[in-house]
Amino acid sequence: MSINSKFVTLKNYIPIGIPKEEDFEIKEVKISISEKNEILVNNLWLSVDPYMRARMTEKKNYKPPFKLGEPMEGSAIGQVIKSNSKNFKTGDFVLSNCGWRDKFVEKEINLEKINSKNLPLQSFLGPLGMTGHTAYIGLYKMASIKKGQTVLVSSAGGSVGSLVCQIAKINDCKVIASTGSDEKVEWLKNELKVDHAFNYKKTNNLVLKLKEIAPDGFDIYFDNVGGDFLEAAIYRMKNFGKIIICGRISQMNASTTGSGLKNMAHVLVKRLTIKGFLIFDHENEKGEFTKNMTEWLISEKIKIRETVYEGLNNCPKAFVDLLNGKNIGKMLVKI
């Protein structure tokens, strides 16, 4: 028996600038389940992530470019419709990396069974998934966060950033959050209880703004954006401060390569540590994270916020809107 499967694919590579919806198309193929250990899955939730942008160019990165015309990889949660494995049964929920598709067949080795423990299924793409793990490893392992520190977070209204803010508050830190809309500023202040939130788009001089908010400087800067914001943060770090390079979204879509950091002297004189990390290197370090994050979600110490678009056809729009800052919290597509 074969059934129809729809997927989103990239039509052409996008070397610079923000992608357009027209850069993507939907394709339909027939799929069937035949081999032992194959599973047929119906997707329910698709993750929309900035790192996918790096795979939309032909440039070498830590993962190869997406193949034009073929399904794009990416995290998704679905339900088993048919199984040729004794380890999975119809109705099980699974996490895959098979991307923006409605249905697919995959070998069991590439699927992870989810026990949702009454938490929303989609939290396994957000706080209990890759973005939550990134926030956790970035703060605990990379920055060695300590009680009472002052933590600066960029893209704080997004998925990783909003979790960084909340984990830092759980550690009794002072949290300064930067984000790109007044609505996100209000949410960060009123719901997530950060100590200060501001709209970087309304700020003429970032260095002076950071000085005004935190005159003594920052112990940790959790960098999701790179570029000018990173440079401004370097000026305002305390001696022996730690800068954790998580992302560089301001540079991902830039039409020029920029002129580089002009203030490396501050890194030297203040004896700063600048550390980059990729969460894929920490796949085997999920135990403590999953336990703590599950407890925080159940006790509502961590609040979830999602921006949800409906339907596979809306994946390209969700992605373009993510890069334009239209999301609050995790960007998802529900099928």
> What letter would DSSP give residue 320?
H
Q: Is 155 in the site for ligand NAP (CB under 6 A)?
A: yes
3-state SS, residue 105: strand
Tokens describing residue 214: 């935190």
Among 94, 139, 323, 333, binds ligand NAP (CB under 6 A): 323
Angle between helices 227-235 and 206-213 (to 10 degrees): 50
Which range binds ligand NAP by CB under 6 A, 105-113, 158-166, 285-293, 294-302?
A: 158-166
Q: Is 179 in the site for ligand NAP (CB under 6 A)?
A: yes
43 contacts 78 by C-beta, under 8 angstroms:
yes
What is the total count of residues that contact ligand NAP (CB under 6 A)? 30
Q: Is 217 in the site for ligand NAP (CB under 6 A)?
A: no
Q: Is 47 in the site for ligand NAP (CB under 6 A)?
A: no
Distance of closest approach, residue 302 Cβ to ligand NAP, in angstroms: 14
Q: Is 126 in the site for ligand NAP (CB under 6 A)?
A: no
Residue ranges of alpha helices (H) inside the chain are: 130-136, 159-170, 182-190, 206-213, 227-235, 249-252, 264-269, 287-298, 315-323
Q: Is 51 in the site for ligand NAP (CB under 6 A)?
A: yes
Contact map string, positions 242 to 271, toward ligand NAP, x by CB under 6 A? ----xx-xx---------------------
- Which parts of 225-244 interact with ligand NAP (CB under 6 A)? 225
Among 10, 19, 45, 49, binds ligand NAP (CB under 6 A): 49
Task: For residues 184 and 329, give the distance between their C-alpha atoms in angstroms, rounded to a whole number.
Answer: 9
How distant is the alpha carbon of residue 313 from its chain centre?
A: 21
Distance of closest approach, residue 293 Cβ to ligand NAP, in angstroms: 15
Task: For residues 90 and 103, give the distance between their C-alpha atoms in angstroms, rounded to a whole number.
Answer: 14
164 contacts 222 by C-beta, under 8 angstroms:
yes
Report which residue type is found at 170.
I
Residues that bind ligand NAP (CB under 6 A): 49-51, 130-131, 134, 155, 157-161, 179-181, 184, 224-225, 246-247, 249-250, 277-279, 322-323, 325, 327, 331
